[in-house]
Amino acid sequence: MEKLFIMKTKYPTKKLGEVCEVVGGGTPSTFISEYWDGDIVWITPKDMGKLDSYEILGSNKKITEAGLKNSSAKMLPKGAVVLSSRAPIGYVAIAGVPLATNQGCRSFICDETKIYNRYLLHFLLTKTELLNHLGGGSTFKEISGSKLKELEIPLPPIGEQRKIVARLEGLLGKIKEAKRLRAEAQEAAQNLLPAELHRIFTQQHITPQKQHTNKLENVGMSSKWEEKELGEVFVFNYGKGLSRSERSASGKYIVYGANGELGRSNRHLIEGEGIIVGRKGSAGEVTRVTGKYWPTDVTYFVTEDKKYDIGFAYYLFKFLNFPQYAVGVKPGINRKEIYGIKIPLPPVAEQKKIVARLDSLSEKIRRLQEHQKSTASDFTSLERSALHKAFSGNI
C-alpha cells in the first residue's frame, strides 16, 4: 500500500534518519509538584492542534529542569521540527523557542548542512496520509521513531531547498490571502439580507424593543403605511405533537420543529403557504414553508390571510428578530408578549413589491453562497498541488 504514496522527483532521496536526529518525548510524574510550573515549554499533540501558525512559542503547561530529568523527554533546540505522532497524527510545527514534548510527539533535530528545517516541515505536511497509514497500535494509533527514520525525502542541495521554500511559502501566502478574502466575501453575503431588511423597515422608523414601547415616528412615514400591533394582524397558532411512530423517513410531508425540518410523515396538519416560528428550543427561529406539512408542538405557525402577503410576513419576522424575546430557563417565546410589538404595515400590493425585491436578493445570495461552497475545496487542491510540485522539483 505504501507504493500509493511514492512521489516522482528529480531529486535524490535520503532517509530522514540520515539527515536528522529523531527524538521522542516524555511526561514527568504528575504527582510531584516540583516537576511542574517551571520555565521549560512542554508541548503535547493537543497543543499542536491549537496552533495558528507553524511556530511554537509557548504552551499552557511548563516543566522544571527536575521534571525534564524525571521524564524521557529531551530538550529540543530552537528550530527543531515537531510532529504529533500519536492520535491525532500529522500536526507539524517548528520550535520557536527551546522546548520539550510529551510522548505523543516526535521531533527532528536537523543537520543544518544537509536539510533546511522549513523544507522538512513542508515535506511532512504533504505526508499526513502516509504518516497515518504508518501509525500502528491496538489502543491508539502511533508512528514510531524507527518508521520515521526510514521515511525517504527528496533532497536537493541546501541552497536549493531554501529557494524552494521561499517560492512555496510565497505561493501558499497568496492562497492564504485568497482564503481570507473569500471568508470576507462569505460574511458580506450573509449580511446582505439583514442590511436590506434594516433599510426597508427602519425607513419607516420602526425600532422593536423587548419592552414593546417602540413607536413609529410620523416624520417621513408614508401615509399608505399603517402602524399596527403584531397581534392585530397575525395569529400565531400552536403546532401539534406528532409521535415518532407517526414519522417515517419516506413520508410524503415535512415535519417541522423549531429550527426547520425535523423529519417526514405521511400525515399533514396544514396545507398552503405559511411560516413556522420556533416556540421552544430554537425559540424565535423563522422558516418559510409551503405545501402540506406538520408543525410540531414546539412551534407556532402562521398561515395565509388577506391582510398580508405571507412572504412579507416572513421578511418582517426575520427583521423583528424574535429570538431576542425568548425568556425562561429553557428559553421560549410567549405569543402574548410579542403580540404587542408595533409593526409597519403597507398595503398588500406594496408588500408584494417588497417581497419580489427581497426574494430576488435572497436568490442572488443563495447562488453566491452555493458558488462559494462549491469552490471551497479549490484552495485545498491548490495547496496540495503546490506542495506536490515543490517536492517533485517542479516549483
287 forms bridges with which residues in the sheet?
Answer: 276
| Three-state secondary structure string covering 135-193 | CECCCCCECCHHHHHHCEEECCCHHHHHHHHHHHHHHHHHHHHHHHHHHHHHHHHHHHH
Taking the C-alpha atoms of residue 380 and residue 179, their distance in angstroms, rounded to an integer, is 10
> What span, in angstroms and rounded, lies between the C-alpha atoms of 100 and 122?
21
CATH of 2-155, one of 3.10.180.10, 3.40.50.300, 3.90.220.20, 3.40.50.620: 3.90.220.20
Q: Looking at the domain that runs over 196-364, which CATH code has it been given?
A: 3.90.220.20
pLDDT in tens, 269-308: 999 999 999 999 999 999 999 999 999 999 999 999 999 9
SS3 assignment for 93-124: EEECCCEEECCCEEEEEECCCCCCHHHHHHHH
Of residues 184 and 275, more confidence is placed in: 275
∠237-241-247 over CA atoms, to 5°? 125
Mean pLDDT of the chain: 87
Most distant CA pair in the chain, distance: 85
Q: Where in the chain is the domain with CATH 3.90.220.20?
A: 2-155, 196-364
Separation of alpha carbons 121 and 107, rounded Å: 11
Where is pLDDT greater, at 88 or 16? Answer: 16
Mean pLDDT of the region 342-368: 92
Q: Which of 147, 27, 140 is nearest to 88 (CA)?
A: 140
pLDDT digits (tens, 9 = 90+) for 116-146: 999 999 999 988 888 988 887 667 789 999 9
More confident residue, 172 or 260: 260
